Amino acid sequence: MVVIARIAVFTEFRYAFSMFSQEFFIVFPEGDVQEIPGRLPINGIVDINGNRLPLPLPTNRMIAFRVAKISTREYKGGAETYHHLELLSAAELLEYTGGSSCI
């Protein structure tokens, strides 16, 4: 009797602390995928490594992307969040500089 009670308690304890993994990725317009450390906001402006760019931008002559779509794939024990990016042109980046940079 005592052994059965210990097994039941151990089983409940094991399931109470189950692990849940959450991973974040950026998806470039060409389809390449890269892991990033955390979540990005929709319409956020990021560099080629997935780091948020501080606004206003110092110049429009840089490679920058906008987070166009966020999708999540859930599976048993975790979830993967994909941030789909779209490339911004120099003319589009001019809106984020304050208008002082040249194209």
> What are the pLDDT digits (tens) for 7-47?
444 444 445 556 889 999 999 999 999 999 999 999 999 99
The secondary structure element, H or E, covering residue 10 is helix 2-16
Average pLDDT over residues 50-77: 95
Closest CA to 55 of 101, 102, 103, 97: 97
The encoded tokens of residue 40 equal 């990005």
Give the range among 1-5, 19-23, 57-61, 81-85 with minimum mean pLDDT.
1-5
pTM over 0.85? The answer is no
Q: List strand residue ranges (DSSP E) for 1-103, in order.
A: 21-27, 33-36, 45-46, 65-75, 78-87
Indicate the residue type of 51.
N
Question: What's the rounded mean pLDDT across residues 94-100?
Answer: 81
70 residue type, one letter = I
Average pLDDT of every residue of the chain:
85
